[in-house]
Amino acid sequence: MEENKTSGRDEIYSTKVKAGKRTYFFDVKSTRSNDYYLTITESKKRFKEDGFSYEKHKIFLYKEDFNKFLEALTNTVNHVKTELMPDVDFTQFDHAHEHEHEETEAAGAKPTTLDTELKWD
């Protein structure tokens, strides 16, 4: 009999962001008491002599911390964009994301749309 690896925590929603050699997974899961939390997983492909493996790092984010986390992330990204790298046109990086959508559509899959404004309200 197959063991339930989620230990009673059902996955409700999932999306991924491919970023070079890394992939980020954003998963909403539920607890046994029907509460929700978010896991953010960074997965990196590591090559070894006999093949490859994936190195994963995971963050658990609970609802009471959503607003604080989002505010800190938004402030940090905005600081980099406006104070540290004001001359960089960050829209140039949107084109790579659009290309991923074209490849996804060509493969027959529905693309995931990402809103550039971060919100958890």
Over residues 40-50, the pLDDT tens digits come to: 999 998 888 88
Is a pLDDT exceeding 70 seen at residue 120? no
Mean of the pLDDT values across residues 73-93? 94
Over residues 49-78, the pLDDT tens digits come to: 888 888 999 999 999 999 999 999 999 999
> Does residue 21 sit within a domain?
yes
Total domains, the chain: 1
Residue 48 token pair? 């070894």
Is a pLDDT exceeding 60 seen at residue 4? no
Task: Note the pLDDT of residue 121.
Answer: 46
> Does residue 35 sit within a domain?
yes
Greater model confidence, 118 or 55: 55
> Does residue 3 sit within a domain?
no
Domain that holds residue 24: 11-106
Is a pLDDT exceeding 60 seen at residue 107? no
Query: What CATH number has the domain bearing residue 33?
Result: 3.10.450.700
Over residues 13-22, the pLDDT tens digits come to: 999 999 888 9
> Does residue 65 sit within a domain?
yes
> Does residue 16 sit within a domain?
yes
In whole angstroms, what is the distance from residue 22 CA to residue 43 CA? 6
Query: Could you tell me if 32 and 12 are in contact, meaning their C-beta atoms sit under 8 angstroms apart?
Result: no
Mean of the pLDDT values across residues 93-118? 52
Q: What rounded mean pLDDT belongs to the chain?
A: 79
- Pick the closest to residue 9 from 44, 38, 52 (CA basis): 38
- Pick the closest to residue 44 from 73, 5, 18 (CA basis): 18
